């Protein structure tokens, strides 16, 4: 993989300020990619931040159009053990 991987267990221990300092990464759980974290650098300027935001929104919209549930739907579902 071209970007670093971080386990979900390690990722969830970070505070927001620490996450902002990370490079973009893949968050994994049991070796599977759970999600990607795209972190735009403040050093790149607004043009880069805007470009990253537009591309991320486009990809998210594409994925959401074919799969996934709303947060409330997932949160209210019974947790299987």
Phi, psi of 18 (to 5 degrees): -70, -40
**pTM for the full predicted model:** 0.80
Same domain, 24 and 47: no
Into how many domains does the chain fold?
2
Q: Give the domain range for residue 54.
A: 41-68
As a whole number, mean pLDDT of residues 37-48 equals 85
Average pLDDT, the chain: 91
Q: Give the burial string for 18-33 (b: 16+ CB within 10 Å, else e).
A: eeeeeeebbbbeeeee
Residue 24 lies in a domain: yes
Same domain, 22 and 49: no
Residue 5 lies in a domain: yes
Q: State both tokens at 68.
A: 């996934």
Phi, psi of 48 (to 5 degrees): -70, -45
């Amino acid at each position: 993989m071209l970007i670093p991987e971080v386990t979900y267990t390690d990722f969830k221990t970070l505070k927001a300020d620490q996450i902002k300092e990370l490079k973009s990464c893949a968050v994994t759980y049991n070796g599977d990619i759970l999600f990607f974290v795209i972190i735009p650098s403040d050093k790149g300027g607004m043009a880069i931040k805007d470009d990253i935001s537009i591309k991320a929104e486009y990809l998210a919209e594409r994925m959401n159009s074919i799969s996934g549930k709303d947060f409330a739907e997932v949160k209210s579902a019974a947790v299987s053990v």
